[in-house]
Amino acid sequence: MKYISTRGQSKPLSFSEILLGGLAPDGGLYLPEHYPKFSYDDLNSMRSMNYPTLAFHIISKFVDDIPENDLKEIINKTYTKDVYAYSRKEQKAEDITPILKIKDNLYILSLSNGPTLAFKDIAMQLLGNLFEYVLVKKNKEINILGATSGDTGSAAEYAMRGKKGINVFMLSPYQKMSRFQTAQMFSIQDANIFNLSIKGVFDDCQDIVKAVSNDLNFKKDFKIGAVNSINWGRILAQIVYYFKGYFAVTEKNEEISFTVPTGNFGNICAGHIARMMGLPIKRLVVATNENNVLDEFFKAGIYKPRDAKNTLHTSSPSMDISKASNLERFIFDLIGRDDKKLNLLWQSVDQGGDFNLNQEGFFEKIKDFGFISSSSTHKERIHFIKEIYSQYSIMIDTHTADGFKAAFEHAESNVPMVILETALPIKFEDYIVEAIGKKPERPKSLMYIEDLPQRFEVLNNQTEEVKAFIRQNV
């Protein structure tokens, strides 16, 4: 299996060759040259597999340069009930992504039972183990540099802590994360994890990461890498739980729909690929918040990203994204994998412009791929958190509440709808209190996390200070 770039100007490469990188050299995103397909009978044979067995069955179709037994071992140690230890009392932790029935034909797929209580753990934990394996094999090292406003950074740190050949330098805005998020990241004591608290806002952190990465000599000398959401390994890991969730709510391969709270389009892109592989998905519902660039695109066929100034800070902050990198992967499939056409579309996007798919009939084709969309407001999220708690005694977080809004809008009475739970309510305590007047329950292991000793460095908002810190610590 080779991987090709959506822009068509990069050499096709194998899985291990693209694993550690981000963008392809031509600026595109990697995709497998074709999608493996599962038949009706294949699906039946996969139906009763446990999570790691299912994960190996799917992932091994995309990886042909890691020996099967090694891949199996990596997957088996990633998806254990000790790593995904949190689960609601109706659920079993060994399901890794257990299902929760809300009512007939409405379910939550719990993706947030890992160490940082958000769905990014599912992919990042696998990435940590794959990175370590590939780096040790090649006798190489990598220094991961990233910026975070909360979720991504902690998922990366928990995945990479203590891993051979890997250091993590994670920039976050000084005193701007919630107390819980801060404690989650800064209480990590492993020597290979460096929390750099920058006197600025999140965009400043991101600008520093860009400036360091654009210094090609520094990047090469200090082996700077990234684990951002365009990484193919993250998408690949996420395909698995669409199958797991599907089998949990069906009996004989009937069609179901998924609703996915969306930011960078990574999670739902994995759903699109699962569908292309033959999983009977009727609809993929894109749920956005007030930052509704994707809702606009799926409703009108016009993709018009916004800049940071026009991106709102909302109560579902992990979806405050107005340029959805992974959309490029879907558009590539939508336009029949025509890389010349794709280059034209993104020429406009990369220059701060937009594109319109109505002119050549591509917009019409979107429905053949199952996509449909919705957006929500803060008031609607609070309403759904309150409603779901009062009717079913289930607490949901603000991102999952975006999902409920969209799911209720698009649910069909005879098609099961599965909403992906992308974070646990505990991560966004203040909004839960706003909605229902009480705090969500905490997993025991995180009960006193704010009291643990913290390990972080405060730096000025200056690229040179970050570079100097990296120089001194690798």
- Binding residues (CB under 6 A) for ligand PLP: these are 118, 120, 151, 229, 261-267, 318-319, 399, 422-423
Cα dihedral across residues 416, 417, 418, 421: positive or negative = negative
DSSP 378: H
Distances (CA, A) of 333 to 85, 275, 327, 463: 37, 12, 10, 38
Residue (132 or 402) nearer to ligand PLP, CB: 402
Residue (121 or 207) nearer to ligand PLP, CB: 121
Token digits for 22?
Answer: 């981000």
Please classify residue 119 by burial: count the beta carbons closer than 10 Å to its beta carbon, then call 0-12 exposed, 13-18 middle and 19+ buried: buried
CB 357 within 8 A of CB 301: yes
Separation CA 331–CA 179 (nearest Å): 39
Residue (52 or 266) nearer to ligand PLP, CB: 266
User: CB 291 → ligand PLP: shortest distance, Å?
Assistant: 11
Separation CA 184–CA 196 (nearest Å): 14
Separation CA 10–CA 4 (nearest Å): 7
Residue (163 or 323) nearer to ligand PLP, CB: 323
Residue (128 or 266) nearer to ligand PLP, CB: 266
Question: Given 72, 120, 252, 299, which residue is catalytic?
Answer: 120
Token digits for 122?
Answer: 């599912």
Q: Residues with Cβ < 8 Å from 27, sequence gap 6 or more?
A: 7, 346, 350
Q: Residues with Cβ < 8 Å from 238, sequence gap 6 or more?
A: 119, 122, 123, 266, 267, 270
Residue (5 or 326) nearer to ligand PLP, CB: 326
Residue (334 or 419) nearer to ligand PLP, CB: 419
Q: Residues with Cβ < 8 Å from 6, sequence gap 6 or more?
A: 24, 28, 29, 30, 31, 328, 329, 332, 339, 342
- Could you give the count of Cα atoms lying within 13 Å of 444 in the half-sphere of its Cβ? 3
User: CB 361 → ligand PLP: shortest distance, Å?
Assistant: 27
Separation CA 400–CA 332 (nearest Å): 28
Separation CA 76–CA 51 (nearest Å): 9
User: CB 398 → ligand PLP: shortest distance, Å?
Assistant: 8
CB 30 within 8 A of CB 17: no
User: CB 353 → ligand PLP: shortest distance, Å?
Assistant: 22
Residue (108 or 135) nearer to ligand PLP, CB: 108
User: CB 206 → ligand PLP: shortest distance, Å?
Assistant: 15
User: CB 318 → ligand PLP: shortest distance, Å?
Assistant: 3
What is the secondary structure of 313-349 as a DSSP string? --SSGGG--SS-TTHHHHHHHHTTT-HHHHHHHHHHH
**Angle between helix 151-160 and 179-186 (nearest 10):** 20
Report which of 240, 295, 247 is spatially closest to residue 418, judged by C-alpha positions.
247
Phi, psi for residue 356 in degrees, rounded to 5 = -130, 120
176 is a catalytic site residue? no
Residue (244 or 399) nearer to ligand PLP, CB: 399
User: CB 120 → ligand PLP: shortest distance, Å?
Assistant: 5
Distances (CA, A) of 408 to 371, 375, 388, 405: 15, 12, 12, 5
User: CB 136 → ligand PLP: shortest distance, Å?
Assistant: 28
User: CB 154 → ligand PLP: shortest distance, Å?
Assistant: 10
Distances (CA, A) of 220 to 146, 168, 215, 296: 16, 16, 9, 40
Return the active site residues: 120
